[in-house]
Structure 1
Amino acid sequence: MIPNWLMQRAYLTPDKIALSFEEEKWTFAQLNDDAVVIARKLRANSLNEGERIALLGSSNSEMVVIIHACMLAGLEIVMLNSRLSKKEIAYQLDDSGANTVIVSNELSSVVADTPVRQLLFSTIKESAEQAFVIQESWQSDRTITIMYTSGTTGFPKGVRQTAGNHVSSALSSVLNLGLDEDDVWLCAMPLFHISGFSILVRSVLYGNEVQLHEKFDAVKSAKAVRDGSVTRMSVVSLTLDKVLRELEKDNSVAHSSFKSMLAGGGPVPIDYLKRAKVLEVPVLQTYGMTETSSQTATLAASDAMRKMGSAGKPLFFNQIKIKDTETPGEKGEVFIRGSHVTPGYIGRFSEVDPLENGWLPTGDIGYLDSEGYLYIVDRRSDLIISGGENIYPAEIENVLIAHPNIREVGVCGKEHSEWGSVPVAFVVVSGNVKEADLIAYCEERLARYKVPKSFRFVDELPRNGSNKLLRRKLKESVDLE
């Protein structure tokens, strides 16, 4: 059994600061009180224990309270990505089987055309309260969140994350990072991502403050790192670079109390690590995925220069192996095992077992060196990582192939100085179609960061003997330009 996170934390350290947002602060007792009121209002709106709802909102204090209220009410939460298109969100609502979508007023138009019942944040606030008994403990296999991650099939998978998964992830992290009473974690990651949500989990388990930023702001983040108002921050390479640039503008360094920049979403360029060292910013490279409820391996700051390019060693409760290899340095698919690994998917992939003989195959190619440090060679062979966001070519291809004037399509990534990589589409067309038409077509169906940055009109696509598309050939042609 696992104690109800927020209730237990409010009981243990009621007066500690739990959350700061803009100019306001909440203690754990205040956060719990606010969440209990909203949980009762959710119950008054006929949302009962064990039901699955979807949640769509911005990363602000109101969202934090509603997330905790949903957990107090015993609801399974499908975390919807506010950056997705209407069609993408409609797919997730349909696939998840959520009976209600709880949505902020400013984002209500995104789900207005879906058949799923909609419950506005403002409606909840104005509702009456219905008292009910809040569970003081949870089963470890209780599904807390469901987050969609794009798959190689082109259809996003709804990943279940249980109470046990989240707790295991948080405990592994603290055993690696350590814990101080005055730790404050700057969260500029979206709360619908596992990186953002896991910060909220760690807060109630550790009793630490979260300094929440609605959107990433390099100036605000650099100021917090410099003035010592935060001790930790989660970043991707793109946001790390922007914080470093702000510090470099006035030749400032991180405050002596700042402990770590946890960097995920892809390898950190060596140049960034060198710059960070000069600025006294400890960078901890990490490797994880939605299926592992955040971190699986993390490189200690003390190893950052000695093991450049490594994602570190597996955290305490986790195991990593390279499939079908026996010697250090031998490359293969990365497999993961641990209590932080998802028990499975929902919707169209509900019958798919994520494990092979107890291990999660990641699809990533990597190796372990002689000391057991993990190196990722490819974040999946076809995966495009753009500004820390994962983009699967098959998903874009599935959208484009439905265009009446496209006969064939292949998508690959192209290196980009700011975003790391951006998608490029190769198309074989019939009839008269222009790049501007295809961009507009994609913008209606895909999140903006997934829309190809350029289209190459070709007569044929490279294929092997069985007519399978050879994306590596597309990538080679892009790299030669």
Structure 2
Amino acid sequence: MTLNHKYVHSKFKLNGFNYAIEDLKVLASNFLKSGSTNEKPIALFLENWFNDDDYIELKTSGSTGIPKDIKVKKQAMINSALATGTFFNLKPGNTALHCLPSQYIAGKMMLVRALVLGLEIDIIEPASHPQINQEKHYNFSAMVPLQIENVYKNCNNIDTIIVGGSPVSASLKSKLTTINTSVFETYGMTETVSHIALKKLTSSENYFKILPNVSISLDHRGCLVIDASLLNNDKIITNDLVKIHSETTFEWLGRYDNVVNSGGVKLFPEQIEAKLQNKIQNRFFIASQPDDTLGSKLILVIESDSNIVNDSVFSELSKFEKPKKIYAVKQFIETASGKIQRKKTLNLISF
């Protein structure tokens, strides 16, 4: 059977109730009139999903360049939901917990998966500390790193959690190896309609494994190129530097636009940050500033009132990786989804 967006699985439930298409349209209308801040984006999605257009308009996050508005085919979203269902062996009637904002692709895809696969989905407030019902068993959920950081000790009632939106820190990866829940880090973006690769964190896998019907290669910069015709008609050229280990696995190194060339040595901020993750309590990131001798010199930017950092935290870094200067910024600038905006934050510093 070929599915289209005017289809709702007979096993689909939302917060314990069965809904057909017309019921969901009424629900959307009610949410728009008197719904909560969380319910209004759900209403808008449902209205857009069931209209006659074959696409949904979304805003990219910048993984492939400057953020922009794009049109994503609804069939691509269905194909993505089916691929996830196959990978995790999700069955009609399985339960899902939705705790992500529904205005972004990850949140929308949780709804699509439920509609297409026939999941019983419970929607809760997309808070940084999700209030999970400990009395109910869930087969599947999706979170951002901050959420799983806050609930990993109390999520044994969830079989599988996928985590995306930003890289998972080394310290969080270590914590996740101690729990029974299977946790997978995702690799994907709006252009790939959620994830195209997964890495199991609870068994300390080092490489991302791509999903079926996806192929990968590198461009001249060493950045990942994705060919996933069921999700996007065009090849997707990313700004993510990766090392390909096989036809189906790759290792993420960092962002091309973050790489620092200091005196001819290429330095990857994300890899340095991973080494410092357990040693600096405040939020921080590695960047660079112009230097007459080196061209660019490495700096540490910390979210703090003070730029004083004990030199011992740099003990695992090579001489090239050690920041030449430390700057304190009282509050980092963030995106609406909580990601640190490095360039805008750097603009707050007077070099």
TM over 0.5: yes
**Aligned position for 1:67:** 45
Instruction: After superposition, give the CA deviation of every residue in 1:240-274 in whole Å (9 maximum; x if it has no partner).
Output: 21112xx2xxxx6613xx32110112332343233
Q: Aligned-pair distance for 1:419?
A: 8.3
Could you tell me whether the CA contact under 8 Å between 1:238 and 1:420 is conserved in 2? no
Number of the residue aligned with 1:346: none
Residue in 2 aligned with 1:254?
Answer: 156
Tell me how far 1:203 sits from its aligned partner.
0.7
Of residues 150, 162, 170 in structure 1, which corresponds to 2:81?
170
Asked if the contact 1:151–1:157 (Cα under 8 Å) also holds between the matched residues in 2, the reply is: no
**TM-score, with structure 1 as normaliser:** 0.51
1:146 to 34, 58, 73: 58
Residue type at the aligned position of 1:171? L
* AA at the equivalent of 1:35: K
Measure how far apart 1:332 and its partner are: 1.8
- Which among 188, 212, 229 is matched to residue 339 of structure 1? 229
Matches within 5 A, 1:312-391: 313-323=209-219, 332-343=222-233, 355=234, 359-370=235-246, 372-382=248-258
Structure 1, gaps ≥5 residues long: 43-56, 76-141, 325-330, 344-354, 384-411, 428-438, 459-481
Say whether the 8 Å CA contact 1:234–1:263 is kept in structure 2.
Answer: yes
Matching residue within 10, 25, 28 for 1:35: 25
Q: Name the CA distance, whole Å, in 2 between partners of 1:371 and 1:336.
A: 12
Q: Using the alignment, how far apart are the partners of 2:130 and 2:100 within structure 1?
A: 15
**CA separation of 1:26/1:274 partners in 2, compared to 1, >3 Å: closer, same or farther?**
same
Pairing 1:265–2:260 present: no
Q: Measure how far apart 1:287 and its partner are.
A: 0.5
The residue number in structure 2 matching 1:199 is: 110
| 1:462 aligned partner | none
1:277 correspondence with 2:188: no
- Give the match for residue 452 of structure 1: 345
Name 1:229's counterpart in structure 2.
Answer: 137
2:14 aligned with 1:19, yes or no?
A: yes
> Aligned with 1:259: secondary structure?
strand
Q: Which amino acid aligns with 1:72?
A: F
Q: Percent of aligned positions with the same letter in both sequences?
A: 20
Over 3 Å counting, the alpha-carbon distance change for 1:37 and 1:299 in structure 2 is closer
Runs of 4+ in 1 over 6 A off after TM superposition: 423-427
Measured in 2, the distance between the counterparts of 1:454 and 1:418 equals 23
Q: CA deviation at 1:426?
A: 7.2
**Given that residues 185 and 230 in structure 1 are in contact (C-alpha distance below 8 angstroms), is that contact kept between their aligned partners in structure 2?**
yes
Counterpart of 2:305?
none
Indicate if the aligned counterparts of 2:173 and 2:201 stay in contact, CA closer than 8 A: no
Greater C-alpha Rg: 1
- CA–CA distance in 1 between the matches of 2:169 and 2:83? 26
Higher helix share: 1
Alignment check: 8 A CA contact 1:59 1:215 kept: yes
Q: Give CA-to-partner distance per residue, 1:50-76, whole Å, 9 cap, x none.
A: xxxxxxx8332x54244222332325x
For 1:322 and 1:377, the matched residues in 2 are separated by 13
State the 1:285 CA deviation. Answer: 1.5
SS in 1 for 2:112: helix
Cα pair 2:94 2:119 within 8 Å, conserved:
yes
Count of matched residue pairs: 290
In structure 1, what is the Cα distance between the partners aligned to 2:281 and 2:135? 27
**Deviation (angstroms), 1:37:** 7.7
Structure 1 residues 336, 253: closer, same or farther in 2, change over 3 A?
A: closer
The 3 A distance-change label for structure 1 pair 421 and 152 is farther
Partner of 1:478: none
User: Are the counterparts in 2 of residues 424 and 454 from structure 1 also a CA contact under 8 Å?
Assistant: no
Tell me if structure 2 keeps the 8 A contact 1:35–1:66.
no
> Can you list the C-alpha shifts for 1:367-393, whole angstroms capped at 9, x where unaligned?
12247421110134329xxxxxxxxxx
Q: Letter of the 1:59 partner, please give it.
A: N
Using the TM superposition, give the Cα deviation of residue 220 of structure 1 relative to its aligned residue in structure 2, in angstroms.
1.2
After TM superposition, give the deviation of residue 212 of structure 1 in Å: 1.3
Q: 2:299 maps to what in 1?
A: none
Cα distance between partner residues in 1 of 2:163 and 2:90? 18
1:290-301 matches, cutoff 5 A: 290-300=190-200
Residues 384-399 of structure 1: pairs in structure 2 closer than 5 A: none
Where relative contact order (Cα < 8 A, 6+ residues apart) is larger, the structure is 1
The verdict on how the C-alpha distance between 1:323 and 1:239 changes in structure 2, with shifts beyond 3 A counting, is same
- Are the counterparts in 2 of residues 292 and 340 from structure 1 also a CA contact under 8 Å? no
Output the CA distance in 1 between the equivalents of 2:282 and 2:232: 29
Partners in 1 of 2:136 and 2:104 — Cα distance?
26
Looking at structure 2, the residues matched to 207 and 382 of structure 1 have their Cα atoms a distance apart, in angstroms, of 41
Question: How far is 1:158 from its partner?
Answer: 0.8
8 Å Cα contact 1:333/1:362 also seen in 2: yes
Instruction: Give the root-mean-square deviation of aligned CA atoms.
Output: 3.9
